[in-house]
Structure 1
Amino acid sequence: MSDTLPENDLRAQLLSAVPFAAHLGIAFQEAGPERVEGTLPWSPELCTAGGVLHGGALMALADTVGAVCAYLNLPEGEATSTIESKTNFLRAVRSGTARAVARPLHVGGSFIVVQTEVYDDQGRLAGQTTQTQAVLAPRSK
C-alpha cells in the first residue's frame, strides 16, 4: 500500500484491508507513520451490561489503530502481526464515540512497539494499549 495516495484513499484502503474493523464501524481520521487516529461509535450491539461499550470492542479499536500504525512503519514488502498486546481500562465508554490515537514507541527491524490511547467522547482517557508487532519478511513460495 502506498503512503503517497490521497489521504482519503489511503484511509479507505487501510479499512478495506481489515474487514472486521469495518464491520464494527471503525473509521480512520488520520493515518501516517507517526500517528494514526481512528474512531468507534457507541452502539447497543457493542455493549455489555449497563450500556457500557464492551472492552473487547475497545481492544479491537486499539488493536486495529495500533496495527495500522505498525504497518505504516514497515519496510517495503514486509508484513506485520500482533504478538503481544496489553490493555489497561481506565473508565467506561457509555455513549458517543471512542477515539484511539496510536504512536510508535519503537520501530526496529524485528519488532515495532506501538502505544494506543483510547478516549471517550469528552476527551477523557478511557484506556491504554501497548502492543508489540512482529516485522515479517515476505514468504518464499
Structure 2
Amino acid sequence: MSEREKQPTGPHRFEMPAWISCAPFERLLNMQIAEAADGKAVLRMPFLIDFAQGAGLMHGGALVSLADTAVVMAIKSIIAPQSHFATIALDARYLAPVKQGVVTAEARVVKRDGRLLEGEATVYDEEGRAVLSFRSTFKIARDTRIEGVRFEE
C-alpha cells in the first residue's frame, strides 16, 4: 500500500486563509486567483505534466475544474463570507486542445433565480484562443445575502 493510500479518507477539516482563496484541491492544481470582484473572476493555471491525458494534451477534467472554480470565486465575490453553496449542474464544451502554457478562466455570475445562481466561464490558452466554454448552476443556502449585482433577466 502506497503512502497516499494510507492517508485518511475523510471527513477532513481545514481552514482557508481567506473567503476568496484556493482550497486544497485548487492549490493541488496550482490555480491562482488574478481577480474576483463584483460577480466576476479571473483565474490562471499552468499546464503541468501531471495534468496531461494519454495523448499529452491538458486533461479535460483539469480545464473544467478551473472553469468551475472561477465561477465559484465570482459567486464568492457577491455573497456573504462563510455562506454555503454548491454546484448542482454544469455543462462544458471543449473548443480546442491545450498543448502547453498557462490557461486563463474568465467567469461571471449571469443569473439568479431564487436560491439558484448561474455562472459562465470561458477558458483561454496563452494565445487567447477559447479552449472551453462552461456554464454552471449553484444552489445557495436559504439565508445567503447577495450584494450589489444586477442580473440580466
* TM-score bracket for this pair, using the shorter chain length: 0.7 to 0.9
Contact 2:115 2:142 in 1 (8 A): no
Which has the larger helix fraction?
A: 1
The letter for the 1-side match of 2:21 is L
Identify the residue that residue 136 of structure 2 maps to in structure 1. 131
Structure 1 Cα separation of the partners of residues 106 and 126 of structure 2:
13
Identity, % of aligned positions: 25
Q: Calculate the TM-score normalised by the size of structure 2.
A: 0.76
Which ranges in structure 1 are unaligned for 5 or more consecutive residues? 1-11
Structure 2 Cα separation of the partners of residues 85 and 25 of structure 1:
22
The number of residue pairs the alignment matches comes to 126
- What is the CA RMSD across the aligned residues, in angstroms? 1.7
Q: Calculate the TM-score normalised by the size of structure 1.
A: 0.82
Which ranges in structure 2 are unaligned for 5 or more consecutive residues? 1-16, 144-153
Larger Rg: 2
Q: CA deviation at 1:43?
A: 0.8
Aligned equivalent of 1:84, options 73, 82, 89: 89
Does the C-alpha gap of structure 1 residues 76 and 46 become closer, same or farther in structure 2, counting only changes over 3 Å?
A: closer
Aligned equivalent of 2:60, options 40, 44, 55: 55
Dislocated runs of 4+, deviation >6 Å = none
Aligned equivalent of 1:27, options 29, 32, 36: 32
